[in-house]
Amino acid sequence: MQEKIDMTQPDSNKCLKFIHTADLHLGSPFSGIARMDKDIAELLSHAGYGAYERIIETAIDNAVDFILIAGDIYESQNQRIIEQLKFHKGLERLDAAGISVYIICGNHDPARGWSKEIVWPKSVHFLRSDRPELIWYEKNGVPKAMIIGMSYPRETVAENLARRYPDREDDWPFTIGLLHCTIGTNTGHDPYSPCSLQDLAGKGYDYWALGHIHKPSVLQKDSPAIVYAGIPQGRDIGESGPRGCYLVTTHSDADIRTEFIETASVVWQEAPVSIDDISSLDELRREIETRIEEIRSENTACAVICRITLTGRGDVHRDLVQEGALQELSEFFREQEAGMDNAVYVERFIDATAFPVDREMIMQRGDLIADVLAISEQMQKTGEIDEELTEELGGLFEKYHGKGVLKEIDEEELSALICEAETYLLDHLIPGDRS
């Protein structure tokens, strides 16, 4: 997935190529893993290390000059032996390939928690934690990059570390800032080292390699490029979608190309399936199988764990509300996928269905129920509720504790909430056969 830009090919000797990654979280548990079957548990137990190995393979295959790791290599500063050995082995492979590695520590693995007994390859550089460190990268004896970064000295860093980074000097080559930080609010992460795009842009650097936020994103394409690598392997449904690292190529300060490389061996995905016009469980099975095949065709290089939300109104709602029905559905589809190389495992089903109603007939009645439908449609068409909700919920997102656990409500989620509220009201206002 090419993010940028000029596709001309200048002299390759002037090219600088590197990998930007972050938030490996080696040793991190996977949410809900105990509830899944043994095949899924086995798959997930190796997924984090598999993503790390794919980053290394990408670096070697593309003959990059160096790798940048923007914090949180480990899930905890109390690393297990297996985590240390696997990380170290990967660094040895890079060293043998002549690839340097520049690392800063984040809030999960601050500098004070790293063992002083481990002997790292000479090509591996841990940047200091008392102040930003400047490292010249030379290629064939010529300075090609200035790398500037600062590790976290402890788990919690409330200071805006970006303000400590020096302004770019005139004689510096391509300049990279390596930082573990939070830009903006409502990120769903603790606001460690909070800063703004203006703080970073004002330093005059060419590329900011960021860590801490787990969703990969290019916040700014150039002048400077500001990029979150994201987590290489999603760990739960909250980290759904493609995950990986960025392969960055530059021929000059102004010509920066970023290519997103997927590294996850397991992708988490949410998928809706409507029961509208479905009258039997067998029809529902075929509809779900069709959706699963669509997901499989979209993810040919990895396994998928999906959460399927059943939506709409139909006769099978009566079957879905029976005790244990959703669990049995999950077990049925997991058994179908067992042993498949390109499996799509159902994490669980969510029932957001309801009994069928004739909307047009109700709208013509002019009663309370018709008003409910009219208000619901108006909210979704005009977005009138957006401003009211923003005002009502703003306090939660502004407070420190709220920001750490709440994610900003997006337009899609807001629409789903309105539909859910409509369904709830109709189910309680309209008499029906609920036997």
**Entry pTM:** 0.80
Task: Provide the pLDDT for residue 364.
Answer: 86
Residues 207 and 176 sit within 8 Å (Cβ to Cβ): yes
- CA-to-CA separations, 242 to 1, 57, 193, 270, in angstroms, rounded: 11, 18, 26, 12
Residue of 432, 366, 381 whose CA lies nearest to 411: 381
Task: Provide the pLDDT for residue 137.
Answer: 96
**200 vs 360: CA distance, rounded Å:** 54
Task: Provide the pLDDT for residue 62.
Answer: 97
Which amino acid makes up residue 128?
R
CATH for 265-356 (1.10.260, 3.40.50, 3.30.1330, 3.80.10): 3.40.50
- Residues with Cβ within 8 Å of residue 258, at least 6 apart in sequence: 2, 3, 4, 218, 221, 225, 227, 246, 247, 248
In the predicted model, residues of the chain with pLDDT beneath 70 are: 1-14, 31-37, 77, 79, 112-116, 185-189, 253, 383-412, 431-435
Task: Provide the pLDDT for residue 154.
Answer: 85
State the alpha helices, DSSP H only, in 136-189: none
pLDDT tens digits for range 120-156: 999 999 999 999 999 999 988 899 999 999 999 888 8
State the alpha helices, DSSP H only, in 263-383: 281-298, 317-320, 325-337, 359-363, 368-382
**381 vs 253: CA distance, rounded Å:** 45
pLDDT tens digits for range 207-233: 999 999 999 999 999 999 999 999 999
Q: What is the residue extent of each domain of the chain?
A: 12-262, 265-356, 358-435
**399 vs 402: CA distance, rounded Å:** 5
* CB-count exposure of residue 198 (10 Å: 0-12, 13-18, 19+): exposed
Residue of 20, 75, 71 whose CA lies nearest to 49: 75
| Superfamily of chain region 12-262 | Metallo-dependent phosphatases (3.60.21.10)
Task: Provide the pLDDT for residue 366.
Answer: 85
Are the folds of 12-262 and 265-356 the same? no
Residue of 192, 106, 108 whose CA lies nearest to 152: 106
Task: Provide the pLDDT for residue 126.
Answer: 95
